[in-house]
């Protein structure tokens, strides 16, 4: 499944939570890509609640492959970056992780320091065997 250019910044926080719950409740979801759109105007923008709910749902997920491309969390609270790291580390089936820029001159990968601190803190619980940063 690919979430591309999903702009929920102006929606109620429940929309972000519900999208994360939807992803968490899909019993056959094994491949997840989260990326910006190819254009410069409507970039991926998910509220903090999305990342928090993703982290809560991670342990029961079957996701084995995650690609995060051009994710910009500059406008999010630092807890969103921490929750994204927790989501990745708590996925019991995750073996393939790619985190990269999308090559677009307008949108770059931007994760707050909290992401890297939490990723390092939780790394021992992760089963990721292939990483590209």
pLDDT at 103: 65
Q: How far apart are CA 49 and CA 76, in angstroms?
A: 10
Could you tell me the mean pLDDT of each successive run of 10 residues in the chain, 133 residues long? Answer: 70 84 89 74 74 92 88 86 93 88 65 90 72 50
- Strand 65-69: give its sheet, edge to edge: 2-4, 31-35, 65-69, 96-100, 130-132
pLDDT at 12: 77
pLDDT at 7: 64
pLDDT at 25: 87
**C-alpha closest to that of 63 among 118, 98, 24:** 24
Spell out the domains of the chain, with CATH numbers in brackets.
Answer: 2-132 (3.80.10.10)
pLDDT at 85: 93
In a 10 Å sphere around its CB, with 0-12 CB exposed, 13-18 middle and 19+ buried, how is residue 133 labelled?
exposed
Q: What is the pTM of this model?
A: 0.84
pLDDT at 16: 84
Percent of the chain residues past pLDDT 90, beyond the cut: 30
């Amino acid at each position: 499944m690919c979430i591309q250019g999903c702009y929920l910044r102006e929606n109620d926080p429940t929309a972000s939570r519900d999208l994360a719950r939807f992803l968490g409740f899909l019993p056959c979801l094994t491949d997840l890509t989260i990326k910006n759109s190819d254009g410069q105007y409507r970039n991926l923008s998910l509220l903090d609640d999305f990342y928090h709910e993703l982290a809560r749902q991670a342990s029961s997920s079957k996701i084995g492959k995650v690609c995060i491309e051009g994710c910009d969390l500059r406008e999010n609270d630092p807890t969103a970056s921490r929750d994204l790291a927790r989501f990745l580390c708590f996925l019991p089936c995750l073996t393939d992780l790619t985190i990269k820029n999308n090559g677009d001159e307008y949108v770059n990968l931007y994760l707050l320091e909290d992401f890297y601190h939490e990723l390092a803190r939780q790394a021992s619980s992760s089963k990721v065997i292939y990483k590209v940063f």
